[in-house]
Amino acid sequence: MAAVGVAAALPAGPASAKARNCPGTVTFSGTKTTIRTVKGVGCAEAKRVARAYDRGSPPSGWQCGLAHAPFTRVGSKIVGFSCGKGGSGDLRKRPHAFLGLTPG
């Protein structure tokens, strides 16, 4: 899978193209997980989609997938899952995309 670059955590609107870590964490599969928006999605929506994916089904239009070894890292954290909406192919390259990061 393609490596994900680390960008500065700057304030951004919901459809920002800047990658950033969302404040706080969500619990995904029993693990505290940091949500990192990649593009085209705000933190509130990304957290909502991640919680729905944890319950078994992301909202309509969203596709999510668990990461597999060898795991990609963003800083010191491991990419545990990716979600994307719109387009096709790599979830991380979709018009709306975010990552779930777990402690590494």
Reference 53, options 28, 31, 78; nearest CA is 28
Q: Residue 9: its pLDDT value, please?
A: 30
Identity of the amino acid at 57? S
**Per-residue pLDDT tens listing for the chain (104 residues):** 333 332 323 333 445 568 899 999 999 999 999 999 999 999 999 999 999 999 999 999 999 999 999 999 999 999 999 999 999 999 999 999 999 999 98
